[in-house]
Chain A
Amino acid sequence: MCLAIPVQVSEILPDDMAKVSLDGVAKIVSTALVEDLHVGDYVVLHVGYALAKIDPEEAQRTLELLASAGAALQ
């Protein structure tokens, strides 16, 4: 139910809407809950609404932590 996926903003539309896409699949969704969006940003999408922006730096940091936690056996 809390099905939320990370999608990329490909077009900002009027009335707090936007076109977002994930690997070539595009949908028009509401951005009324997120501020300051730009084309190229990634957001978490849930039942047709963007809920939060994904912070690329934090995402990268997480990946690095995962890699080090996973490699610790060396």
Chain B
Amino acid sequence: MSVQQPIRRKLDVKNGRVDLSHGAGGRAMGQLIEDIFHAAFDNDWLRAGNDQSAFDVEAGRMVMTTDGYVVSPIFFPGGDIGSLAVHGTINDIAMAGARPLYLSASFIIEEGFPLADLKRIAASMGEASREAGVPIITGDTKVVERGKADGVFISTAGVGVAPPGLALSSDAARPGDFVVLSGTIGDHGVAVMSKRENLEFETQILSDSAALHGLVAAMVAAGGAGIRVMRDPTRGGLAATLNEFAHQSRVGFAIEEEAVPVRPEVAAACEFLGLDPLNVANEGKLVAILSPDVVEATLAAMKAHPLGAGAAVIGRVVEDPNFFVEMRTSFGGGRIVDWLSGEQLPRIC
């Protein structure tokens, strides 16, 4: 006579909430992981149910990155914390010119978080991961008491492999190099801000959150070693990225204000709030420093890719002992673009 099996109740996704038992390591946690995360990410690694996952290492240089996602609000026009986590981690790998291979995702969930929202986030991550062709092969779940985490925090790691001969580095920019932007700036930050309490405004702007590894592959094929460095201007916006490059490469920048693409709606939202689009976060754009001999080919490759259709040369690298990033205005004058001081928004990445 076989032992009776307990009735396995389905997770009440519609009305249920995460509680401390879901993080305790027992059956409840196992069920949460299976029904929510494995169901959404679905691959052999996860189905094996181990605490770790193994993969063969490709020949070449391995690249690894880690990221934390604390965006508020969790759901925003054009994405959510889940899709953002997938795109952002993939992009960090891609900015090295590397091919992203695998992701990990660790969730810290606040007691009381609606299961429906968790399922929605997981589904969004699964979709982003499948679309990008980069599986989430291992993960972790913790639950903390109410008030100890703002809904959910997601921490990721990513690994990838860099093609041989490519040595992108932020200290590689040289005077005379070109600065290229893959598209409009400010979209993500404005989309998130529009949902923030006390700022609410209506807009059609969507976050530009996207995985850029396909665009990068096209660029690497066209520009190769002529690509000095790439970076996605997330927190701090384009201003922060250019200043980082300036200091790390010990150069200055001369950027043409008119050449920096900004959607009219984004410009308008920034006017409303008194912000400069240069300081606003982007999650689906990259800025690349290119040596002059590869600019034409690389720019053409970018424009041929859906995520680079709006690509443009926005300026040049110059010699400057002060490492200033200069914005040349349409007035023929110049102003310094600095890092933004202090926090402008509470967590948009």
Contact = CB atoms under 8 A, between A and B. Distances in A.
Interface in B194-234: 200-205
Contacts of B258: none
Nearest to A5: B271
A24 B271 CA distance: 12
A24 B205 CA distance: 9
A5 B268 CA distance: 9
Contacts of A38: none
Contacts of A26: 201-203
Contacts of B269: 25
The interface centre, meaning the residue of B201, B202, B265, B272 with most chain A CB atoms within 10 A of its CB, is B272
Interface string A7-25: 0000000000000001111
A73 interface: no
Given A5-B271, A5-B272, A24 B201 contact: no
B26 interface: no
B321 interface: no
A27 B202 contact: yes
Contacts of B267: 23
A3 interface: yes
A22 B272 contact: yes
B24 to A, nearest CB: 46
A16 to B, nearest CB: 19
A28 to B, nearest CB: 8
Nearest to B190: A25
A44 B272 CA distance: 11
Contacts of A22: 268, 271-272
Contacts of B201: 25-27
Contacts of B268: 22-25
A5 B201 CA distance: 15
A20 to B, nearest CB: 10
Contacts of A3: 274
B165 interface: no
B147 interface: no
B265 A24 contact: yes
Interface string B239-270: 00000000000000000000000001101110
Nearest to B267: A23
A3 B276 CA distance: 13
A24 B201 CA distance: 10
Contacts of B271: 5, 22
Contacts of B205: 25
A25 B202 contact: yes
A22 B203 CA distance: 10
A43 B231 CA distance: 41
Contacts of A24: 203-204, 264-265, 268
Nearest to B201: A27
Contacts of A27: 200-202, 272
Nearest to A27: B201
B187 to A, nearest CB: 13
Contacts of B200: 27
Interface in B267-285: 267-269, 271-272, 274
7 contacts: A5-B272, A25-B201, A25-B202, A25-B265, A26-B201, A27-B201, A27-B272
Interface of A: 3, 5, 22-27
Interface of B: 200-205, 264-265, 267-269, 271-272, 274
Given A3-B274, A24-B203, A25-B203, 18 more contacts: A5-B271, A22-B271, A22-B272, A23-B264, A23-B267, A23-B268, A24-B204, A24-B268, A25-B201, A25-B202, A25-B265, A25-B268, A25-B269, A25-B272, A26-B202, A27-B201, A27-B202, A27-B272
For the complex of A and B, 10 pairs with smallest distance between CB atoms: A23-B268, A26-B202, A22-B268, A25-B268, A27-B201, A24-B265, A23-B264, A3-B274, A25-B269, A25-B203
